[in-house]
Amino acid sequence: MQYEIKQSGKFKYVMEGQGESLILLHGLFGALSNFKDLVDCFKEKYTVYIPMLPLYDLTNLDTSVSGLAKHVSKFIETKNLTNVNLLGNSLGGHIALVYALKHPERVKTITLTGSSGLFENGMGETYPKRGDKDYIRKKVELTFYDAKSASQELVDEVYNIVNNRLKAVKIIYLAKSAIRHHLGEELQNIKQPVCLIWGKNDTITPPMVAEEFKKLLPNSELHWIDKCGHAPMMEVPTEFNLIFSEFLSKH
């Protein structure tokens, strides 16, 4: 994605388009490229922000879902954004929910796709062996319904992360934090409209997770995408953007 990465103090982010604020939050192995089709589609009507989450740069104490939500909070405050539309994939959805619970006055809508916060399967029972690229490829392929969506670039990206000792430790911290930070009892306090867009073939946050979110979030709607895994906005962008656009238009 050829968008310019801006820097303002300690924040790095992409900002494209004009209009109401739309903030996109990536997941644990996420990257800006995850949202390319979304940005292209929505920058005509919205100011689209993608803050780069400091997954590897926080202190050990702050390397948590709450720590990342604080970072997003400071970013939104610094940019003086109000009435924001939040969209989060995987860990990004979890961060969006934690932020909305702390700062409901700034949030207009929330969209979750493959979100953690209730239950998720991680990279497996053991952390991948360093240097084992075939193993990494198989794990990355599990993110998608169609294994061909796991591009070489994506596999290389994850491979480089798990082979960097410091980054690997931070990923484990964050994965454990996501499991511990269970939101079940708090979700009833989220009154904003929530759109759940879920891949029917998601193996990381399976369909039962979407159904549980639907049950616990009082003002939510659930949309399924067939033949789709954990990252619908990457795997089936046209269908995803249509559902998301209709939801935003309603609110």
Per-residue pLDDT tens over the stretch 35-54: 999 999 999 999 999 999 99
The sign of the dihedral angle between the CA atoms of 14, 42, 37, 115 is: positive
Spatial CA neighbour of 110 closest among 52, 67, 69, 53: 69
Helix (H) or strand (E) holding 215: helix 207-216
What's the predicted TM-score (pTM) here?
A: 0.94
pLDDT of residue 201: 97
Helix pair angle (133-141, 152-162), 10° resolution: 120
Rounded mean pLDDT, 151-173: 88
The residue assigned the tokens 């103090």 is 9
DSSP 123: S
Query: Domain 5-120+182-250, what fold?
Result: Rossmann fold (3.40.50)
Of 18, 28, 74, give the one whose Cα is nearest residue 49.
18
Looking at residues 47-72, what average pLDDT do you find? 94
Give yes or no for a contact between 87 and 69, defined as CB atoms under 8 angstroms apart.
Answer: no
- How high is the pLDDT of residue 1? 54
Alpha-carbon span 23 to 45, nearest angstrom: 13
Q: Are 48 and 16 in contact (CB under 8 A)?
A: yes
In the prediction, which pLDDT does 122 show?
61
Mean pLDDT value across residues 150-162: 88
Q: Round to whole Å and give the CA distance between 148 and 144.
A: 8
Residue of higher predicted confidence among 34 and 236: 236
**Measuring CA to CA, how many Å separate 221 from each of 157, 199, 232?**
33, 14, 16
- What pLDDT is recorded for position 129? 56
Helix (H, G, I), strand (E, B) or coil at 8: strand
Query: Is 140:205 a contact under the CB 8 Å cutoff?
Result: no
pLDDT higher than threshold 70 for residue 125:
no
- For the cut 50, the answer to whether the pLDDT of residue 242 exceeds it is yes
Mean pLDDT of the chain: 92
Determine the Cα–Cα distance for residues 145 and 70; give it in Å rounded to an integer: 33
**68-112 pLDDT, tens per residue?**
999 999 999 999 999 999 999 999 999 999 999 999 999 999 999
Would you state the pLDDT for residue 33? 76
Give the pLDDT of residue 123.
Answer: 46
